Amino acid sequence: MKGYLKEHPILEFKRGKKIKFFFEDREVEGYEGLPIAAALHAAGIKVLSFSERYDRPRGFFCAVGKCSSCLMEVDGHPNVMVCMELLKPGMRVRRQKGQKK
Amino acid sequence: MSSRTKNSRFTGSTIPQNSKIDNEKSGQEPRTKNTIQNFSSSEFPDFDICIIGGGPAGLEAAIVARTLGAKVIIIDDNPGLGGQLIKQTHKFFGSKAHYCGVRGVDIAGILSKEVKGSDIDILHNATVVGYYDDDIIGVLKDDRLFPVKAKTYIFATGASENTLAFDNADLPGVYGAGAVQTMMNVYGVVPGKRAVVIGSGNIGLIVPYQLLQAGVEVAAIIEIMDKIGGYYVHAAKIKRAGVPIILKHTIIEAQGKECVEAALISKVGGKYECLSGTERTIECDMILIAIGLSPLCELLYQAGCRIDYIPELGGHVPYHNEDMMTTKKNILVCGDLACIEEASTAMLEGKIAGAKAHEALYSRTKQGKKIVRQAKQELSVIRSSPFEERITFGLGKLK
Ligand SMILES: Cc1cc2nc3c(=O)[nH]c(=O)nc-3n(C[C@H](O)[C@H](O)[C@H](O)COP(=O)(O)OP(=O)(O)OC[C@H]3O[C@@H](n4cnc5c(N)ncnc54)[C@H](O)[C@@H]3O)c2cc1C
Ligand code: FES
């Protein structure tokens, strides 16, 4: 699949099953068990949400669940940290605006 | 600069405010394979020692405490153990006793194998979100908040990457350097094609080298000081690979519409002010921030431990003595949380914390005494190096 490292001088990547999920109703491919954010970036999607007041695009920052910069709506649940939440087949992932109450 | 900065992102703590423990649900057992599944009682079992954070510090603490005979649980918010080490593909240096020549990711493997081979309980994918009355902690796992109680807690939560304020610092493409390292080395995904790195400490030197290994271009490393911050060996390697390290410069703006398209940098003067007329842009689609880490000590604030501000140790750090004990007698700390340093010192501090936690609960054992003495000795050898002067100075401020 495009967007994933294949050859690496040191590392070997064990990946899960190839699966399909949805980003803004668009079908995207990814590997099961990867954090949603990793699968989105491999698919070239870097804008994860928009800021509350000025609609500024937002992406991830820490990738380890510490900064809340990557909150998205997953299967209808808002404020999901997609750098930690792992991908499952058929998941519906959406950009959200601001932090939902 | 900062007062004029536009569109900076401020990242917040992940700990929910006013969170309450859901006692009603506490009877349900968490879904883990290795642990706690055999408890039929409605309460969580009491542990002797609960270790929060499964990085090198927490793992060593667990191994030592268990070896001495304590009943131990490790709680970590990742699917696997190892903390920061799982993304470090470079070989460590130092002494043989501290895994010199071994890659960080392999050290993580060695330690987690030892833990998993023992009867230490492990709670994966579980975040400790609060410290409550009666010395109970709240654990969030699978959307469920439940309490865990232990006689003693060892906090080994590590640190988080610092952000930097500059114009449009909130644009997607401005990432923590460690974050990109995680994406690249743990998940095999590189979130860009050409990077500019801000900061030339060890992380700012190692991550770009690993980007090159993964086939990503590195346009430059920008350093505001007049000398490189990290070790000479790392700097020499990255320079040999043809990456310029631009000293006395800083970033003033991330440019781009939806995502980063370029970095605007400027030379700085004697007071670190930007010198007008020296600005230039460097094309890139990632700006990696590698300006340091801050200890993750919110939970300790909440627990009522005294927190001191010591810039040399990483900013706000929990007060601790030589035995890694905080101002609360049932709480110990170790690793990057106690002082931003390195994996070898984190592991040594972990050993001390593990042994001292056991000692406080039971009694001093010959074996425990020996472990502590040896670890303290090794720490003092590491900290006597000129590279560690700052740390030694900072530790001297803990009184
Ligand atoms: C790029 C880079 C290169 C480095 N190179 C070297 C090197 O060459 N040599 C060297 O010795 N050191 C190196 N280090 C430093 C070393 O990795 C750290 O000092 C070490 O990992 C600190 O260990 P720790 O156990 O304190 O914290 P960590 O490794 O950060 O582990 C803490 C763990 O706790 C978890 N956690 C945090 N909060 C919670 C919570 N509330 N609930 C549950 N779990 C939680 C975290 O997710 C993490 O798994 C490097 C670091 C980086 C980033
Ligand atoms: S990027 Fe920091 S929490 Fe997800």
The tens digit of pLDDT for each residue in B145-162 reads 889 999 999 999 999 999
> Rounded to a whole number, what is the distance in Å from the CA of A86 to chain B's nearest CA?
10
pLDDT > 80? residue B69: yes
What is the mean pLDDT of the segment spanning B351-358? 98
A63/B179 touch (CB, cutoff 8 Å), yes or no: yes
Q: How far apart are CA B377 and CA B369, in angstroms?
A: 12
Amino acid identity, residue A49? S
Spatial CA neighbour of B197 closest among B233, B238, B146, B236: B238
pLDDT > 80? residue B137: yes
Residue B93 is predicted with a pLDDT of 67
Q: How far apart are CA B28 and CA B42, in angstroms?
A: 7
Distance (Å) of CA B54 to CA A48, B108, B225, B365:
29, 10, 34, 25
CATH number for the domain harbouring residue A65: 3.10.20.440
Q: What percent of chain B has pLDDT over 90?
A: 79
In a domain, A48, yes or no: yes
What is the mean pLDDT of the segment spanning A67-72? 93
DSSP lists the bridge partners of residue B52 as: B75, B155
pLDDT bucket at B143, cuts 50 / 70 / 90: confident
pLDDT > 70? residue A22: yes
Spatial CA neighbour of B349 closest among B361, B359, B339: B339
Q: Which two tokens stand for residue B259?
A: 């995502």
Residue A91 is predicted with a pLDDT of 97
Residue B325 · residue B34 · CB < 8 Å = no
Is some CB atom of chain B closer than 8 A to the CB atom of A10? yes
What is the mean pLDDT of the segment spanning B97-103? 81
What is the mean pLDDT of the segment spanning B320-332? 97
| CATH (residue range B47-160+294-395) | 3.50.50.60
More confident residue, B8 or B359: B359
pLDDT > 80? residue B94: no
> Rounded to a whole number, what is the distance in Å from the CA of B42 to chain A's nearest CA?
28
What is the mean pLDDT of the segment spanning B376-380? 95
B21-30, B47-56, B298-307, B349-358, range with the lowest pLDDT: B21-30
Residue B26 is predicted with a pLDDT of 38
The total of structural domains in chain A comes to: 1
In a domain, A3, yes or no: no
Q: What is the distance in A from the centroid of ligand 2 to the CA of B12?
A: 10
Report which bound ligand comes closest to the CA of B13.
Answer: 2
Q: What percent of chain A has pLDDT over 70?
A: 99
pLDDT bucket at B247, cuts 50 / 70 / 90: very high
pLDDT bucket at A12, cuts 50 / 70 / 90: confident
Residue B4 is predicted with a pLDDT of 57
> In a mutagenesis test of the B interface, which of A2, A5, A28 is the best target, namely the one with the most B β-carbons within 10 Å?
A5
Spatial CA neighbour of A90 closest among A5, A19, A3: A19
Q: What is the distance in A from the centroid of ligand 2 to the CA of B13?
A: 10
| CA torsion, ordered B270, B273, B274, B278, to nearest 10 deg | -20
Q: How far apart are CA B354 and CA B365, in angstroms?
A: 13
Residue B12 is predicted with a pLDDT of 46
Cβ neighbours of residue A81 closer than 8 Å, sequence gap 6 or more: A65, A68, A70, A71, B14
B188/A15 touch (CB, cutoff 8 Å), yes or no: yes
Q: Which two tokens stand for residue B165?
A: 């304020």
In a domain, A8, yes or no: no
pTM to 2 decimal places:
0.90
Cβ pairs A/B, distance under 8 A: 115
Q: Which two tokens stand for residue A81?
A: 């940290």
pLDDT digits (tens, 9 = 90+) for B279-316: 999 999 999 999 999 999 999 999 999 999 999 999 99
In a domain, A6, yes or no: no
Q: Is the CB of B195 under 6 A from ligand 1?
A: no
> 10 Å Cβ neighbour count for B184?
26
In a domain, A4, yes or no: no
Q: What is the DSSP annotation of B254-295?
A: EE-SSS--EEEEEEB-TTSPBPTT--EEEE-SEEEE-S-EEE
Range of the domain at A62: 18-97
pLDDT bucket at B21, cuts 50 / 70 / 90: very low
Distance (Å) of CA A84 to CA B79, B124, B180, B310, B313:
9, 12, 14, 31, 28
Residue B360 is predicted with a pLDDT of 95
What is the mean pLDDT of the segment spanning B200-204? 95
B189/A59 touch (CB, cutoff 8 Å), yes or no: no
Q: How far apart are CA B361 and CA B356, in angstroms?
A: 9
pLDDT > 90? residue B346: yes
Average pLDDT, chain B: 89
Q: What is the DSSP annotation of B284-349?
A: -SEEEE-S-EEE--HHHHHHT--EEEEGGGTEEEE---TT-B-SSTTEEE-GGGTSS--HHHHHHH
**What residue spans of B186-278 are helical by DSSP H?**
202-213, 232-240
**Of A36, A64, A79, best ligand 2 pocket probe by most atoms within 8 Å of the beta carbon:** A64
| CATH (residue range B167-291) | 3.50.50.60
What is the mean pLDDT of the segment spanning B20-38? 36
Comma-separated ranges of CATH 3.50.50.60 domains in chain B: 47-160+294-395, 167-291
